[in-house]
Structure 1
């Protein structure tokens, strides 16, 4: 992997025009990922069998099994996108990850849309806040030009702690509550800063698909917990 990166031209070595072209490609793919996610989600929510199965996987050890499967697919997709130079495989990895995200969102979005008063309004508000925060955090990186790679260790520790709390909550049956969602939003925000910083410091000119996948993953994590916060108000 390191030898591959040594043979690639990093964005920091390119002109401003070439970097802007890469950013446009990357964020166009993030936007495309969001549209594909919406399409997948719409199709999945049309199937009662899929909805019932997804809802059945939200309790106890089944939720841990579902999260484990999602993490496995995430790791597989990220490795495929990053290690393969074949654009078709990179797109396949991105599509696979988007489908996994769409499936894990099924129970949450079903509850919001069908069981909450003004569920559609809540969903739209959460989406607007998520996109606003995502745009603002990305702007911080581009305006300040600060390298946020130092966040990696803290994010790794934070995610392991979060997984431990989620596992404990699933096993012992307690609700993690509002403050956990707030903390996860902060963690997702840090991940967006880190992933955006990587656009210059980690990726090469051909890596716009894995770069988009990383940003999309952070965006969806932020959306998940912002939606949880909005749900707690009702």
Structure 2
């Protein structure tokens, strides 16, 4: 495995044609992840029992248990996708992560649909999210800078956010609009970081791990954009 890893060629070291091919593969897998997420979400929402269970997990410590389980799955998926070169295993890890993401989105999607009895909020949030995702990603391609230096800042930001989420769940206070705005900023930084990694850190064979990282950041942004739209009503 060590020798195999050493033979990998970084995207930054190959020709422009090969880099473009890698980017196309990566973003195609991000799009595929979004489509699979929509399929899972549609199937989940068909079950009233599953929806009721997901909504019941929003209360206090139950939400923390659900969030903790999601974080464990996230860590498993990301580490598995990175430490193996077996594409079947990487695809499995990606699919497991998408499944978990779709499940944790059940209550938010249900609430967003119920708020206006239509998909209006979700459609607006999706447009804003994709626009921000494209705009932030383009910064890396335009500037060609390595943004890996923001990793420490993101880690601190997410650590503080997790602390606030835990406090809110335990003591029953609403984190409010500005927390959602702050999380959108963090999600934007994560997109910038993941896009930079795709350009500067990954090998030409790592399009699945790269797609997983971008998909995770995209869905985090989508979550809090929905929260902002819900706060208007």
In 2, the alpha carbon distance for the partners of 1:59 and 1:227 equals: 19
In 1, the alpha carbon distance for the partners of 2:94 and 2:81 equals: 7
Residue of structure 1 equivalent to 2:129: 130
Residue of structure 1 equivalent to 2:149: 150
Q: Equivalences for 1:68-87 in 2 at 5 Å?
A: 68-87=68-87
For each residue in 1:154-197, what CA deviation from the matched residue of structure 2 results, as whole angstroms up to 9, or x when unmatched?
00010010000000000000000000000000000000000000
Q: How many residue pairs get matched?
A: 233
Residue of structure 2 equivalent to 1:222: 221
In 2, the alpha carbon distance for the partners of 1:3 and 1:112 equals: 49
In 2, the alpha carbon distance for the partners of 1:86 and 1:106 equals: 31
Residue of structure 2 equivalent to 1:90: 90
User: Which aligned runs of 4 or more in structure 1 are off by greater than 3 angstroms?
Assistant: 1-6
Q: Any idea what SS the aligned residue of 2:119 has? A: helix
Structure 2 unaligned regions, length at least 5: none
The TM-score, its normalising length taken from structure 2, stands at 0.97
In 1, the alpha carbon distance for the partners of 2:12 and 2:171 equals: 48
Displacement of 1:6 in angstroms is: 3.2
The Cα RMSD (Å) is 1.2
Alignment of 1:25 with 2:25, yes or no, is yes
Q: Any idea what SS the aligned residue of 2:146 has? A: coil
Distance 1:192 1:2, change over 3 A: farther
Q: Any idea what SS the aligned residue of 2:148 has? A: coil
Distance 1:189 1:4, change over 3 A: farther
Residue of structure 1 equivalent to 2:182: 183
Range with greater deviation from structure 2 (3-12 or 22-31): 3-12
In 2, the alpha carbon distance for the partners of 1:219 and 1:5 equals: 28
In 2, the alpha carbon distance for the partners of 1:3 and 1:180 equals: 45
Distance 1:153 1:67, change over 3 A: same
